[in-house]
Amino acid sequence: MDKHSFHVDYPEKHEMKKHIQSIVSAGLTKPKSFIQYLTDMYQQLGFRYLFRDATEILFVVFLALCVFLYGILSLDSSIKTNDIYFFIFTLSPVIYFTVASLFLIIALTKNTFAVEMTCKYHVFQLAAFRMLIFSVLALILNSFLILIVSLLFQSISVLQALLLSCSSLSIFSVLYLYVLQHIKGRYSTYALMASWLLVNFIPALLSQDVYAAFLSHVPSYVYMVVCAVSLALYVNSLKKLIAFREGVL
């Protein structure tokens, strides 16, 4: 029998590398972006499941708005502009904290908590989606309240007040997520809210004019930088919360 020699035409190295990369890219699932992950969650679960306690949330938001509106309308017309800025910076996170904590209290005290943590989208993944919505909602409501204040007190700069509110809310939101993920204890986030109020009110009690003047005289670009940095940290914290599987409020 005649033996035939076969010639194998091997590809060049750059062609081999290209084929390997195409095989690997086709075989591996590309990680989803944060926005894509939240979009898929919304499409698969729907609004009714993501916000099944919408009635309670709306009631709490309405109650908080009533309290703030009453407080705004009760302000003395002789109150200093700097003092108003102080109250805006100090109290801006209250609505966010109230609504976010309400969801976690309900979720963590339910008998089905352990079961829900085994689902495709567990409690903390739902919390990441909801907290993003809550932060946007809180920002809108704070802006609405600031507009009312600006109508009552013409000396208020709407832009300055909005930057103060946004900075305060973004800083507190980052701290809230950090405490939630790293400090165990049912009352850890409540301690954060109490600490936030103390850290702001104690300097004001010692020298309200100085502290209020400091908040109102910080340049606008500084608040913009604070908002941008805090937003980046907030999104990064929400990404970590998606992978978070243990801990209590």
Query: What confidence tens digit (pLDDT) does each residue in 128-150 have?
Result: 888 888 888 888 999 998 998 88
pLDDT at 66 over 80: yes
pLDDT at 198 over 80: yes
Query: Which token pair is 50?
Result: 């993501």
Q: Which residue has the higher pLDDT, 206 or 171?
A: 171
Q: Residue 91: name the closest of 43, 146, 17 by CA.
A: 146
For residue 190, the enclosing domain spans 31-242
Does 17 fall in a domain? no
On whether the CB atoms of residues 241 and 134 are closer than 8 A, the answer is no
Query: Which token pair is 27?
Result: 């075989």
Does 174 fall in a domain? yes
Does 19 fall in a domain? no
Give residues with Cβ within 8 angstroms of 174, minimum separation 6.
Answer: 230, 233, 234, 237
pTM of the prediction? 0.78
The total number of structural domains that make up the chain: 1
Average pLDDT over residues 4-12: 61
pLDDT at 28 over 60: no
Give residues with Cβ within 8 angstroms of 217, minimum separation 6.
Answer: none
**Helix H or strand E encompassing 39:** helix 34-45
Q: Say which DSSP state 30 is in.
A: P
Q: Which residue has the higher pLDDT, 173 or 217?
A: 173
pLDDT at 229 over 90: yes
Average pLDDT, the chain: 79
Q: Residue 166: name the closest of 121, 222, 114, 113 by CA.
A: 222
pLDDT at 248 over 60: no
Does 59 fall in a domain? yes
